[in-house]
A and B are shown apart, each in its own frame.
Chain A
Amino acid sequence: MNLYNYASQTPVLPAIPPLMRDIIGVVVISTFLLLIAIVLIWLMRKVIARMQKRIGPNRVGGRYGLLQPVADVMKLLTKEQITPAGADRWAYELAPILIVVASLIVWAVMPFAPGLIGVDLNIGLFYIMAVSSVSVVTFLLAGWGSNNKYALLGAFRAVAQLVSYEVPFILAMLVPILLARSMSTVSIIEDQTVPYLFVVPLAALIFFISALAETGTTPFDLLEAESEIIAGFHIEYSGMKFAMFFLAEFLGALFMSALFSTLFLGGWNIPIINLIISLFGGQPIDLAAMGIAGTIIGLFVFLAKTFLIYFVFLWIRATWPRVRVDQILSLNWKVLVPISLVLILVVAILDKMIPEGTTELVRAGLFLASNVLIIFVALEIMRRSARRQRMEVAGMETVDSGTHEITEAAAAD
């Protein structure tokens, strides 16, 4: 069941042709998201201000500065549109449009509540991976089209970071896919009797870190890095075009939060409450079978989880410093990718080894134990490698042998 079927079942809407239904569905979801972006802007400014011991917006629109985003948008709309000299017009004008389109179309497979989904594709998560990898192109368009060296540097950084963090991002998504045996977002939600956060916490952690990098949030905001390359790929954009990059960033962060809550927290479902109920011998609550009430409760649960994760995003954004370029890439290729490959292997083998009749809680416990084991082994390996590096640095200082190569050769001997 999808949104259109749902809408056509309600008596308010008369029978409408399928194409019309599709267009209405697209308009409704897009408008909803663009409206939510207003809340996101206000939330970000207010939460980050509070964390940094400031008050934040407090003048426009009453006590809490609720109308601040409206004032922001008014300011952006009245600004002059400046096109840099020598810009590649096609690339320059298309980039802000395409980036917003890319950040909107991924929501098509996001289940907001039972029955409230754009379209339940059987390749839902694969669709998300494909669209998010294509959206990298928009950064190149913006960076190249602006005819600015900082913009181009920002675009290079963006592509290097986004393309490499796609690898752990997809690998971490494969773990819930393995457990649920489906790439459909709805099936993954319905399969979670225990939220996957408590089954495969390592996958959730890797997913979260790479989601931070994919959205370019601190500590991975190298693509913007105001102090190094000013603003990166969108430096030459002004007014509303600039705002569209920010809109895409907000929607991207919210989408990652929503995806995290879908994959690892059970989305609109209430697995923890159901577990407690079934522990006391009661009948678990099936929101999907409750009709309109289930939809409303499900939407509320989904938004609560999503905004909780979004709050963690803001928390990290407000408090963490930026990492270096080499650190960002070595964290990815030397830590996240190997760990996630091992994790997939372990989860796949364990999934086959656990006998059929085992209860969900025992299964979850076994997966959890394997995850904790992998975390310990990985931390031990990292500790040793870091220790060796420190020894090398210390050796280089005492011997004072000049170049790094010699010390490395000595260490190899």
Chain B
Amino acid sequence: MVEQILFVLLAIITLGSALFVVTDRNLFHAALALMVSFAGVAGIYITLDAGFLAMAQLLVYIGAISILIIFAIMMTRRLMQAVEMPFNSQRWLGLFGAVITFVVLAVVIGRYWPIAPSADTFLASIPAVDPEVMSGSVARLGVSFVNPDAYVIPFEVASVLLLAALVGAIVVAWPKVEDKS
């Protein structure tokens, strides 16, 4: 019962701020609303007992990506006048992407509907998570990242990608060397 109320509240917060992101004309406020939306998703992870995922969401999406977005806004727009039209020339492309995402999600969720095994009513309580499973979850996550039978290849590919991005950033920021001859 409490979980469902929490879920509805978090969903309202997440979707409401997401709507604010795309409709507000002040870019800085839109970026802040994006953070609230990310935090709402983290809250949903917590109600699903996925604490590690929730914290990773906070650390990566709010602590890094959103701050990067805000920095980009502050560096590129005129101070305190960052009022923009919410639509630009990419609007049809954006609509296309949104529709495709919606169709994919609808198909995937529709295939597994109803998701919960005991989803008789909306207010049925969620099945409790085995505390034994919960206590070692972080260690198992770490092991499966480096396990050849699990996710070692995606994990390493992601590391190489990040390293390449890091080197690329350094190359871009490197001061131009004057030709001395």
Chain A residues with a Cβ under 8 A of chain B: 19, 86, 88, 90-91, 121-123, 126-127, 129-131, 133-134, 136-137, 140-141, 144, 147, 152, 156, 159, 163, 166, 181, 183, 405-406, 409
Closest to A136 in B: B67
CB neighbours of A166 from chain B (8 A): 63
Pairwise interchain contact A131-B2, C-beta atoms closer than 8 A = no
Pairwise interchain contact B80-A122, C-beta atoms closer than 8 A = no
**A201–B33 CA distance with the chains assembled, in angstroms:** 42
Pairwise interchain contact B80-A140, C-beta atoms closer than 8 A = no
Q: Known: A130-B59, A183-B138. Is A159-B29 also a contact (CB below 8 A)? A: no
Interface size class of B (residues with CB under 8 A): 20 to 34
Pairwise interchain contact A152-B74, C-beta atoms closer than 8 A = yes
Give a binary string over B40-76; 1 marks a CB under 8 Å from any A CB, 0 the rest. 0000000000011001101100111011001100100
Cβ of A25 to closest chain B Cβ, rounded Å: 17
Pairwise interchain contact A159-B63, C-beta atoms closer than 8 A = no
Pairwise interchain contact B62-A144, C-beta atoms closer than 8 A = no
Pairwise interchain contact B178-A405, C-beta atoms closer than 8 A = yes
Taking each of B51, B59, B70, B79, which has the highest tally of chain A beta carbons within 10 Å of its own beta carbon?
A: B59
Chain B residues with a Cβ under 8 A of chain A: 2, 28-29, 32, 35, 51-52, 55-56, 58-59, 62-64, 66-67, 70-71, 74, 79-80, 134-135, 137-139, 177-178, 180
CB neighbours of B64 from chain A (8 A): 133, 163
Taking each of A19, A121, A123, A130, which has the highest tally of chain B beta carbons within 10 Å of its own beta carbon?
A: A130
CB neighbours of A136 from chain B (8 A): 63, 67
Taking each of B63, B74, B138, which has the highest tally of chain A beta carbons within 10 Å of its own beta carbon?
A: B63
**A405–B28 CA distance with the chains assembled, in angstroms:** 40
Pairwise interchain contact B80-A88, C-beta atoms closer than 8 A = yes
Partner of A144, one of B2, B28, B134: B28
Closest to B35 in A: A137
**A134–B177 CA distance with the chains assembled, in angstroms:** 38
Pairwise interchain contact B67-A122, C-beta atoms closer than 8 A = no
Cβ of A364 to closest chain B Cβ, rounded Å: 23
Q: For chain A, what secondary structure do more than half of its interface residues adopt (helix, strand, loop), or is it mixed?
A: helix
Cβ of A165 to closest chain B Cβ, rounded Å: 13
Cβ of B38 to closest chain A Cβ, rounded Å: 10
Closest to A170 in B: B59
Cβ of B181 to closest chain A Cβ, rounded Å: 11
Pairwise interchain contact A134-B32, C-beta atoms closer than 8 A = no
Pairwise interchain contact B63-A130, C-beta atoms closer than 8 A = yes
Pairwise interchain contact B80-A131, C-beta atoms closer than 8 A = no
Cross-chain pairs A/B with CB under 8 angstroms, 6 sampled: A88-B28, A126-B55, A126-B59, A131-B58, A133-B59, A156-B74
Q: Known: A19-B2, A91-B32, A131-B58. Is A86-B63 also a contact (CB below 8 A)? A: no
**A133–B59 CA distance with the chains assembled, in angstroms:** 6
CB neighbours of A122 from chain B (8 A): 51, 134-135, 137-138
Cβ of B163 to closest chain A Cβ, rounded Å: 13
Pairwise interchain contact B74-A144, C-beta atoms closer than 8 A = yes
Closest to B66 in A: A137
Taking each of A91, A137, A156, A183, which has the highest tally of chain B beta carbons within 10 Å of its own beta carbon?
A: A137
**A406–B179 CA distance with the chains assembled, in angstroms:** 10
Q: Known: A136-B63, A159-B71. Is A152-B52 also a contact (CB below 8 A)? A: no
CB neighbours of B80 from chain A (8 A): 86, 88, 147
Given contacts A88-B80, A137-B67, 6 further A-B contacts (CB under 8 A): A19-B2, A90-B29, A122-B51, A122-B135, A133-B59, A405-B178
